[in-house]
Chains A and B, each alone.
Chain A
Amino acid sequence: MTALLRTTGLRVAYGDMRVLDGIDLEIARGEFVALVGPNGAGKTTLLHAVAGTAPLCGGNVDIAGHDLAKAPRAAKQAIGLAIDPPSLPALLTGRECLALFAGARGLPAIPQATLALGETLSLIPVLDRRIASYSLGMRQKLGILLGLIGEPPLLLLDEPFNGLDPRSALAFKSHIVALVAKGDTSVLLATHSLDMAEHHATRVVLLMDSYVRRSWDADELAAMREHPGLSLEKAMADACGS
């Protein structure tokens, strides 16, 4: 399979603090990779390094055959990063924000598919309200829509289910599982929801102490789902050494 994302020796540090140290990761088209690990392991930083919004100290990020450092525009055409709710512009309405992102992606208008997902997530009725008046859940939904706008082949999602009501969470989960099942979209999901990782991911990667400590492939995950004595929670606890 062709790698849609390939990181080689990726290193990120904030001042003297090393956050990622030599991360090698490959994601093929149609893969759903869940990134798990304790708080401060560097999951969010890895997503931002792949999205080009965190400065790299070393290593390479290659997206759809384009080096992120040398050809950032071509590389970023292939990614969609769900926006962190606090970063959303309070002075714009949800619809204006979507139009801004559509423009940045070179689209003439907000795509119909984005509005359809907005309808599924019950966000359409509030799209013309200012973001300042949105609840956490509404902001989370808008952040998700902004990441998915233009249907980029690689989705980068950081705890996207935080603040979502159960109905919306289920609808969004079904949506990304369907996208991955079609085979054109890959997902890199940073999450603490081991249930989501175990049941829907095709690979789980444990990030710890700035390194990839362990990963579980589709067969191992299938075995965990089949045998009641096995679980990702237990496997992760073993890998973490506790």
Chain B
Amino acid sequence: MLHAVSRKDRGRFASALAQMHRDRKKVFVDRLGWRLPVFEGEFEIDQFDGDEAVYLLEIDDHGVHQGSLRLLPTTAPHLLSEVFPDLCERGVPRGPDIWEITRLCTAPDLADPRPVRQALLLGVVEFALMSGVRRYTCMTHVPYLNAVLAVGWDCAPLGLPREDAGVMVGAIAIDITPQTLDIVRDCTGRATPVLAAWENRHAA
């Protein structure tokens, strides 16, 4: 089940969140070789993993982390505003209805990560529709860009890509409307809500 975990829910998901930081270290630092700060040798945590962050957390029946991503309000400091503002040719897009997606990761030992990726994809759209988010921004590695575009949602570049630590990186915006949910459901072949809170809201 997918959960949107904000500051007030951190205690309830403490162990899954710790596992998320461990998996992020295994995936981003050990496997992909990104130069990121590592806490106590096993947790990847940066300056944006603070009170403002909302995590979409996919956990199995035993509460174990399967995959996650991090959402940050652009009204607060975030990756594009603090670290890569030059990727946005016309200024970093900011506003209460614009959030940033970072740190998409699946547990490194999953036999098939595709269902988890699909749940996260559906989850970001459900979260946006539920919370009044109309646009996501994100930084992508250009070799992964077409996987993002292939979802079929409405993407636009925010500036030209440039090299960072040997790979081309760029920033894009993804616009979310109620129609986006149909597009993503069509792309994933899943027609039911994935986000726990979203399901409850509709049940209520």
Chain A bound to chain B? no
* Residues of chain A whose beta carbon lies under 8 Å from any beta carbon of chain B: none
* Residues of chain B whose beta carbon lies under 8 Å from any beta carbon of chain A: none
